[in-house]
């Protein structure tokens, strides 16, 4: 076999990166290429340039620098004992691909991750080098997300943060026991230590920028992490509590969940059944409830069922409401924002509009309907001037009434 | 609203023709004048350039000048913001809707706060559709290199895009800021933009055939698109929601979607077949595991001419001893540790005071791996992957026996327990806690002793005995 061409390497190293859940390119400083030599801009909101048939967006060129790895984590396709085809990009190749994709408006930037080759430090140096060439030699002002290697020298991780918009360190698994079992070469304390260091670097540089205008920026889009769901016995309650601790301890911007998916050449230690994809979705919804709806982690955990997992057929907000029926119905014309945010089917936007609208009118069911996606879902939980659901919240079959019917989506229907 | 204007209401309809479909300034000037003259919405016809002007030609009237005491026209800042966006919408009704709202706003200045009002709602929806179209243009424009080198001095990139609304002008700034140091053109059926790194020029509407057909980089991009997609997670509905089919024809990667979707199921089952081993549920009794390992063909060893060798010993043994794999004699006998290494182990166990019959004795790998040399079958060490696959069965045995202490002999056995390769010399002589509360001890494999001679063998025998003695002592503490 001759040396691999760029396109062959791209196929291997993008394939290996498809288990990274994040593709976000938002939340960084606003920049553009006016007055510079290169290209690129960020305007706060990220842009998804395409969507893959798996429903996930493509915002960044998400690749691995190499899928060679000296580690042997069981859930990982790139682990040492796996028989996948290996490939390795040079930093310059990654830079060239990023720029030529960016010029054609295919991407917002680069999400670079890597298997560990030679040593953690060597790998981290190479990743930093990619970012350095992009920023310094090409004046690239697009988005860069580097997945750092927790075992690498903290100074190298610091370098990464100076070039990147976002850095991430994977916690990998929701429990330390799971990590010991499935990622024998990784160390939970080391991961936490690296996250803590990134957090303090972010805080310090923010402080410095308040005093010195030219202090360097450090990971302006913050840090994130990813954990694998369904590869160990951790319940949704375990996962939610782990996520909330991560948000609190390390001020993470996002925790991503990646449903353990069948990988070619998997290890026999992994469960044979993959978790339903909807489980991942329910976890994201619960994440949303905590970040935007004011739910406490303990309240999300109240929405779980006896086995500690969130129900799969209904969303966690509805699950919570069905368990706490005494809190409903909520009077749309009188209730405060917090109570309205608890109503299943009312989003943050709808609640804000209701609050603004009711200064001008007494809300009727039709008025609410104009502000929501589906009034059918909301109706059992609210009171309006012309509507009062007397018995509905007491009905035993309410859940069955509200659970969505299985949908059939046809791709090539007319 | 002041009374005198109501009396001056003019008969017939006014027709206002806009010079450009997205000309907010012009609309604002006209709308302001109309409100000041107290012209109600139902008497104004707003006509797009090239629109159905004839219909209203008869009613087209010159507006009289407003009186000196004409009231100022009131519009909230939020309304102006929203109107600037909504005016880009392609619905011909947008000007009239905006005027109706402006008209109503004179009496109720905070009208826009009432999201439940159907007209406010309609305006909001229009603005939202325009913002979405703006966003999708930023996302789905695909530049193609037509001349010069990639990133070089003479480069020129051209894109063809078909916006749904009149957003080209509103979006120009974004592309200028992003691609400030690149020469580019964006062609659309509604007009075109040209940037030469210094000046932005607007051009006439274009046709698809004016734009280049391809770019060699698209092959790379398509390969990326196909590779980053995980066939095990097909969610076509989610994709279509964000990337409706109307955009597909101008995106080079979209041509792949039908085959990616159609092939997803077979790719996933290939991944599963090549990966997650289809062993079903793990048997829940030792005899069922014994039966299952005879049928196991999950690694190449199972395909050799051999038979599986099950562990043996009491179902409730406190000690579990794990070796590497059955050898030639074990394979023939169908029992673990009956060959030379097994006999050596027996002698050492006896010396340490451990009764082999009280222990559950098994192997990390259940089949004999060998190469045939003439009549002889030569032992081969299993690969890490083979050990990992067989771990499934070893764990099954351990779950059922639940030993308090596991003694792993040799690197393969240690890997079978730990899932990683460790150095025997570094880990021997100390307990390694396992997650179920039991302990793992690691030592060398007796066959290693068999391969040594003289002082080396004596030294290793001594170490082996020391390990066994420590295990014996610990076992007594634990039980």
Q: What is the ipTM of this complex?
A: 0.91
Among A83, A268, A367, the strongest candidate for a mutation testing the B interface, having the largest count of B CBs within 10 A, is A268
Confidence of residue B10 (pLDDT cuts 50, 70, 90): very low
Which residues does B92 contact at the CB level (< 8 Å), separation at least 6?
A: B46, B48, B51
B-chain CB neighbours of A367 within 8 Å are 116
The length of chain B is 479
pLDDT on residue B233: 82
Size of interface A-B (CB pairs under 8 A): 255
pTM above 0.80, yes or no: no
Among B115, B259, B267, the strongest candidate for a mutation testing the A interface, having the largest count of A CBs within 10 A, is B115
pLDDT on residue A391: 64
Q: What percent of chain B has pLDDT over 90?
A: 66
Check whether B227 has a pLDDT greater than 50. Answer: yes
Check whether B283 has a pLDDT greater than 90. Answer: no
Confidence of residue A269 (pLDDT cuts 50, 70, 90): low
Considering only CB atoms, A370 lies closest to which of B110, B116, B258, namely B116
Flag if B232 and A262 touch (Cβ within 8 Å).
Answer: yes
Check whether A390 has a pLDDT greater than 90. Answer: no
End-to-end CA distance of chain B: 96
pLDDT on residue A148: 95
Q: Which residue has the higher pLDDT, A410 or B207?
A: B207
pLDDT on residue B479: 82
pLDDT on residue A262: 64
CB A242 within 8 A of CB A290: no
Considering only CB atoms, B115 lies closest to which of A18, A38, A357, namely A357
Check whether B388 has a pLDDT greater than 70. Answer: yes
Q: Does B252 touch chain A (CB under 8 A)?
A: no
Q: What percent of chain A has pLDDT over 70?
A: 92
CA dihedral over A277, A280, A282, A284, signed as positive or negative: negative
Check whether B51 has a pLDDT greater than 70. Answer: no
A87 SS3 class: coil
Name the strand (E) or helix (H) holding A66.
Answer: none
pLDDT on residue B280: 61
pLDDT on residue B7: 33
Across A19-58, b (16+ Cβ under 10 Å) vs e yields bbbbbbbbbbeebbbeeeebbbbbeeebbbbbbbbbbbbb
Of A92-101, A293-302, B12-21, the one with minimum mean pLDDT is B12-21
Check whether B153 has a pLDDT greater than 80. Answer: no
pLDDT on residue A232: 84
Q: Which residue has the higher pLDDT, A182 or A9?
A: A9
Mean of per-residue pLDDT scores for chain B? 88
Cα distance between residue B317 and residue B475, in whole Å: 11
pLDDT on residue B303: 80
Q: How confident is the model over A30-39, as pLDDT tens digits?
A: 999 999 999 9
| Chain B: residue whose CA lies nearest to A365 | B116
Flag if B236 and A62 touch (Cβ within 8 Å).
Answer: no
Beta-carbon count within 10 A of B155 CB: 17
Find the angle CA(A164)-CA(A166)-CA(A167) to the nearest 5 degrees: 90
Check whether A68 has a pLDDT greater than 70. Answer: yes
Cα distance between residue A296 and residue B83, in whole Å: 39
| Chain A: residue whose CA lies nearest to B251 | A50
Of A315-324, B348-357, B417-426, the one with minimum mean pLDDT is B417-426
Tokens 């003695």 locate to: B469
Check whether B357 has a pLDDT greater than 80. Answer: yes
Count Cβ atoms within 10 A of the Cβ of residue A18 and give its class: 0-12 exposed, 13-18 middle, 19 or more buried.
Answer: buried
Check whether B171 has a pLDDT greater than 60. Answer: yes
The predicted model gives A214-236 an average pLDDT of: 91
Among B105, B110, B116, the strongest candidate for a mutation testing the A interface, having the largest count of A CBs within 10 A, is B116
Q: Which residue has the higher pLDDT, B99 or A183?
A: B99
Beta-carbon count within 10 A of A326 CB: 6
Confidence of residue A373 (pLDDT cuts 50, 70, 90): confident
B-chain CB neighbours of A265 within 8 Å are 274-275, 385
CB B245 within 8 A of CB B162: no
Check whether B4 has a pLDDT greater than 80. Answer: no
Q: Does B181 touch chain A (CB under 8 A)?
A: yes
Q: How confident is the model over B21-47, as pLDDT tens digits?
A: 999 999 999 999 999 988 899 988 898
pLDDT on residue A83: 79
Flag if B116 and A50 touch (Cβ within 8 Å).
Answer: no
Check whether A118 has a pLDDT greater than 80. Answer: yes
Tell me which residues of chain B, numbers 70 to 129, contact chain A at a CB-CB cutoff of 8 Å: 108, 110-111, 113-118, 121
Highest-confidence segment of B81-95, B265-279, B304-318:
B81-95
The predicted model gives B298-325 an average pLDDT of: 91
CB A117 within 8 A of CB A69: yes
Beta strands A57-58; A60-64: pairing state: unpaired
The predicted model gives B131-157 an average pLDDT of: 91
Confidence of residue A349 (pLDDT cuts 50, 70, 90): very high
| Chain B: residue whose CA lies nearest to A17 | B228
pLDDT on residue A249: 93
The length of chain A is 414
The predicted model gives B363-385 an average pLDDT of: 90
| Chain B: residue whose CA lies nearest to A109 | B178
| Chain A: residue whose CA lies nearest to B270 | A264
Beta-carbon count within 10 A of A392 CB: 16
The predicted model gives B156-168 an average pLDDT of: 96
Pick the CATH number of A6-26+42-275 from 3.40.50.300, 3.20.20.70, 3.40.50.1220, 3.40.50.620: 3.20.20.70
B-chain CB neighbours of A80 within 8 Å are 384
Among B105, B151, B224, the strongest candidate for a mutation testing the A interface, having the largest count of A CBs within 10 A, is B224
pLDDT on residue A267: 62
Q: Does B273 touch chain A (CB under 8 A)?
A: no
The predicted model gives B85-108 an average pLDDT of: 95
Confidence of residue A25 (pLDDT cuts 50, 70, 90): very high
Check whether A9 has a pLDDT greater than 60. Answer: yes
Domain coordinates of chain A in residue numbers?
Answer: 6-26+42-275, 316-402
Considering only CB atoms, A103 lies closest to which of B140, B157, B176, namely B157
CA B284 to chain centre: 36
The predicted model gives A196-215 an average pLDDT of: 90
Check whether B57 has a pLDDT greater than 50. Answer: no
CB B201 within 8 A of CB A376: no
Mean of per-residue pLDDT scores for chain A? 89
Check whether A411 has a pLDDT greater than 50. Answer: no
pLDDT on residue A2: 73
């Amino acid at each position: 076999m001759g040396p691999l061409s760029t396109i062959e390497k791209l196929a291997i190293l993008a394939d290996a990166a498809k288990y990274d859940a994040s593709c976000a390119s938002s939340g960084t400083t606003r920049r553009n290429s006016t007055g510079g030599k290169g290209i690129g801009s960020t305007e706060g909101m990220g842009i998804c340039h395409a969507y893959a048939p798996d429903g996930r967006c493509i915002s960044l060129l998400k690749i691995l620098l190499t899928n060679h790895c000296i580690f042997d984590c069981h859930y990982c396709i790139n682990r040492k004992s796996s028989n996948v085809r290996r490939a390795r990009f040079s930093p310059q190749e990654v830079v060239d691909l990023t720029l030529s994709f960016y010029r054609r408006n295919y991407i917002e930037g680069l999400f670079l991750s890597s298997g560990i080759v030679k040593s953690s430090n060597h790998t981290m140096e190479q990743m930093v080098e990619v970012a350095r060439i992009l920023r310094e030699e090409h004046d690239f002002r697009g988005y860069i997300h580097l997945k750092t290697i927790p075992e690498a020298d903290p100074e190298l991780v610091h370098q990464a943060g100076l070039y990147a918009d976002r850095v991430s360190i994977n916690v990998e698994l929701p429990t330390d026991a799971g990590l010991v079992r499935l990622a024998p070469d990784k160390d939970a304390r080391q991961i936490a230590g690296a996250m803590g260091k990134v957090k303090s670097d972010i805080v310090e540089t923010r402080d410095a920028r308040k005093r010195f205008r030219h202090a360097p920026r450090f990971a302006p889009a913050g840090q994130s992490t990813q954990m694998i769901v369904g590869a160990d016995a951790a319940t949704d309650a375990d996962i939610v509590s782990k996520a909330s601790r991560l948000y609190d301890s390390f001020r993470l911007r996002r925790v991503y969940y990646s449903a353990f998916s069948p990988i070619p050449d998997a290890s026999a230690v992994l469960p044979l059944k993959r978790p339903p994809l909807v489980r991942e979705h329910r976890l994201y919804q619960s994440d949303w409830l905590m970040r935007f709806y004011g739910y406490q982690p303990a309240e999300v955990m109240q929405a779980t069922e006896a086995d500690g997992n969130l129900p799969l057929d209904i969303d966690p907000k509805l699950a919570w409401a069905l368990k706490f029926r005494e809190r409903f119905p909520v009077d749309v014309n009188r209730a405060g924002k917090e109570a309205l945010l608890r109503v299943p089917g009312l989003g943050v936007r709808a609640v804000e509009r209701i609050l603004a609208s009711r200064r001008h009118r007494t809300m009727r069911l039709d008025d609410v309907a104009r502000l929501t996606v589906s009034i059918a879902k909301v109706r059992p939980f609210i009171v309006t001037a012309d509507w009062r659901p007397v018995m509905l919240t007491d009905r035993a079959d309410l859940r069955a009434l509200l659970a969505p019917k299985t949908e059939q989506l046809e791709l090539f229907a007319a | 609203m002041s009374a005198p204007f109501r009396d001056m209401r003019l008969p017939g309809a006014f027709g206002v023709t806009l010079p450009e479909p997205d000309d907010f300034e012009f609309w604002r000037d006209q709308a302001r004048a109309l409100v000041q003259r107290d012209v109600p919405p139902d008497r104004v016809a707003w006509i797009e350039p090239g629109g159905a002007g004839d219909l209203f030609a008869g009613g087209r009237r010159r507006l009289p000048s407003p009186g000196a005491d004409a009231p100022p026209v009131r519009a909230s800042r939020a309304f102006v913001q929203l109107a600037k966006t909504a005016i880009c919408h392609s619905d011909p009704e947008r000007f009239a809707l905006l005027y109706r709202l402006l008209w109503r706003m004179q009496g109720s200045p905070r009208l826009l706060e009432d999201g439940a009002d159907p007209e406010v709602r309609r305006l909001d929806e229009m603005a939202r559709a325009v913002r979405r179209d703006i966003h999708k243009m930023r996302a789905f424009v695909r530049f193609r290199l037509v001349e010069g080198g990639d990133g070089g001095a003479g480069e020129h990139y051209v894109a063809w895009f078909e916006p749904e609304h009149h957003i080209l002008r509103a979006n120009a700034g974004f592309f200028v800021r992003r691609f400030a140091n690149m020469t580019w053109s964006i062609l659309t059926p509604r007009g075109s933009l040209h940037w030469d790194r210094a000046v932005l020029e607007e051009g006439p509407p274009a046709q698809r055939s004016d734009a280049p057909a391809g770019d060699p980089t698209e092959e790379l991009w398509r390969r990326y698109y196909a590779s980053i997609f995980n066939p095990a997670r097909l969610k076509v509905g989610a994709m279509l929601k964000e990337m409706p089919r109307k955009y597909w024809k101008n995106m080079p990667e979209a041509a792949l979607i039908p085959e990616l979707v159609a092939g997803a199921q077979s790719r996933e089952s290939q991944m599963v077949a090549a990966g997650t081993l289809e062993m079903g549920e793990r048997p829940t009794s030792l005899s069922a595991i014994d039966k299952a390992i005879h049928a196991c063909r999950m690694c190449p060893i199972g395909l050799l001419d051999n038979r599986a060798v099950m562990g043996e010993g009491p179902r409730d043994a406190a000690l579990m001893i794990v070796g590497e794999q059955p050898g030639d004699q074990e394979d023939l006998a169908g029992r673990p540790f009956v060959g030379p290494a097994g006999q050596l182990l027996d002698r050492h166990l006896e010396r340490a005071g451990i009764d082999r019959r009280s222990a559950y004795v098994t192997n990390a790998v259940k089949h004999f791996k060998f190469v045939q040399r003439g009549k002889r079958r030569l032992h081969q060490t299993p690969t890490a992957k083979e050990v990992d696959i067989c771990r499934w069965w070893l764990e099954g045995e351990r779950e059922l026996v639940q030993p308090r202490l596991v003694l792993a002999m040799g690197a393969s056995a240690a890997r079978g327990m730990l899932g990683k390769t460790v150095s025997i010399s570094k880990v021997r002589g100390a307990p390694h806690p396992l997650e179920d509360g039991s302990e793992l001890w690691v030592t060398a494999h007796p066959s290693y002793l068999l391969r040594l001679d003289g002082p080396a063998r004596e030294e290793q025998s001594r170490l082996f005995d020391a390990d066994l003695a420590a295990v014996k002592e610990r076992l007594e503490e634990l039980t």
